[in-house]
Structure 1
Amino acid sequence: MELNSWFQKGLTKDEYISSMTRNKEEMTSIYNRFEVTEEDKKKLEAVQSKKLRAIVLTEDWCGDAMLNNPVLLKLAEAAEMQVRFVLRDQNLELMDQYLTNGTSRAIPIFIFINQEGNEVGVWGPRAPEMQALVEKGRAELPDKDAPDFQEKQMALYKRLGQSYQTDSSIWQTVANSIMTSFL
């Protein structure tokens, strides 16, 4: 897979944000409030010389992308890493190379590449701690056939979305997880 061409095809941060029709305010709010710690800045400065780049497989309707993309952007700024956004639904050829558990087109997926276009790390769609939180919430839902399943599932996703937007410890958890894929 020629990843340099996918990177070139991707949208810049500003192009992606301008094109968003869903979760734009929520994503930019997290971006504006999340700060990379001094300790993490030092770690990220150490990788600047590698001139890594990131391809982000995403869609604006995705709650996990709303949380993870702005955290990645802040880390990328500290690492002087260029980021390009590739829309999943229009680029299944790339997405299908990065399926979660070999079957799911879960997003976002962050593909870290070097200047030659070689993959040096992949991350996504969730930090393990966030995955455990989602799984715990899903385990508490009634059976899918239950009359209140849909209502309770929507309430779960709303609660998660609200915590994604307000809990700065979640942002740091995500940052720590993302950094493990390229540091």
Structure 2
Amino acid sequence: MKIAIGKALFKSHSYSEYRKLVSDLLRSEKSTGKEQSPELTNYSGLNETRMNRLEKTMKISEGIVENLKSLKNEYIWLVISEGWCGDAAQLLPIFDKMATASEGKIELKIVLRDENEELMNLFLTNKAKAIPKLIVINRETGGALAHWGPRPKGAADLITNYKKEHGVIDETVKTDLQLWYLHDKGLSTQLEINEMMLDLDSQVD
């Protein structure tokens, strides 16, 4: 696993580099990833707008900021993403703001799913390559300590329940999901990741 993580980190992007990569591809009417289609490019464009809005409006709660700054150890958050992924667009700005708030305790790195199949295959969700996936790495040892994703519990439950009832993931539930994120304002994600990090930090020597 350490080899796959090392390879991925070698070709990873900072948050700003990732944003620029997605934006540059959009100007050429392309999306990230192996598959190219007008639909995926359209999703990437919508996500660009979402991320711009979230960067301006998303706030990390004061208590969580203090917890992140007080972490005893240092970590890398390695996130598997793609520009067309709606969940990633909702969550990456939160990851970035939380990492920034940690004042050096957490460094955010992003890799593209289709360019890192070896890593992705280590962190499947129900045998699927669901993204985004946040992998918490001990900066000192390079080992993976935990992972989170592809979405917070409330959002995951929404998708699971809809699929049970209707048998498919369609545009209706995708719209419902975006509304869930809008109303949640990033709080569920912050709380879940905060709890995970405090738990991990208490275990790492």
Same fold per TM (> 0.5)?
A: yes
Partner of 2:197: helix, strand, or coil?
coil
Equivalent-residue separation in structure 2 for 1:90 and 1:4 (angstroms): 14
- Over the matched positions of the two proteins, sequence identity in percent amounts to 27
Match of 2:79 among 40, 50, 56: 56
List runs of 5+ in structure 1 lacking aligned partners.
145-149
Instruction: Give 1:17's aligned residue.
Output: 19
Q: CA RMSD in A?
A: 1.9
Report the CA distance between 1:43 and its aligned residue.
Answer: 0.9
After TM superposition, which residue ranges in structure 1, 4 or more long, deviate above 4 angstroms?
none
| Residue of structure 2 equivalent to 1:108 | 132
Alpha-carbon distance between aligned partners in 1 of 2:159 and 2:70, rounded to the nearest angstrom:
33
Separation in 2, partners of 1:138, 1:55: 29
| Secondary structure, counterpart of 2:80 in structure 1 | strand
In the alignment, structure 1 residue 158 sits paired with structure 2 residue 175:
yes
Distance 2:188 2:113 in 1: 25
Q: Are 1:43 and 2:67 counterparts?
A: yes
* Alpha-carbon offset, residue 181 of structure 1: 2.6
Q: Give the drift of 1:113.
A: 0.8
Mapped partners of 2:8, 2:195: distance in 1: 23
Provide the TM-score with structure 1 as the length reference.
Answer: 0.84
Unpaired runs of at least 5, structure 2: 27-43, 199-205
Q: Which residue of 2 aligns with 1:147?
A: none
Equivalenced residue count is: 171
Q: Structure 2 counterpart of 1:19, which letter?
A: L
For residues 27-56 of structure 1, the C-alpha deviation after alignment (integer angstroms, 9 at most, x for no partner) is 231122111111111111111x41211110
Provide the C-alpha distance between the structure 2 equivalents of 1:50 and 1:30, rounded to a whole number of angstroms.
28
1:92 aligned residue? 117
* Counterpart Cα distance in 2 of 1:92 and 1:181: 25
Is the Cα–Cα contact under 8 Å of residues 55 and 85 in structure 1 kept in the other structure? yes
Q: Could you tell me the TM-score, scaled by structure 2's length?
A: 0.76
Where does residue 193 of structure 2 map in the other structure?
A: 178
> Does residue 100 of structure 2 align to residue 77 of structure 1?
yes
Q: Does 1:121 align with 2:138?
A: no
The one-letter code sitting in structure 2 at the alignment partner of 1:77 is: T
Structure 2 partner of 1:67 = 90
C-alpha separation in 2, matches of 1:178 and 1:60: 22
Question: Is the 2:155–2:177 Cα contact (8 Å) retained in structure 1?
Answer: no
SS at match of 2:151: coil
Match of 2:36 in 1: none
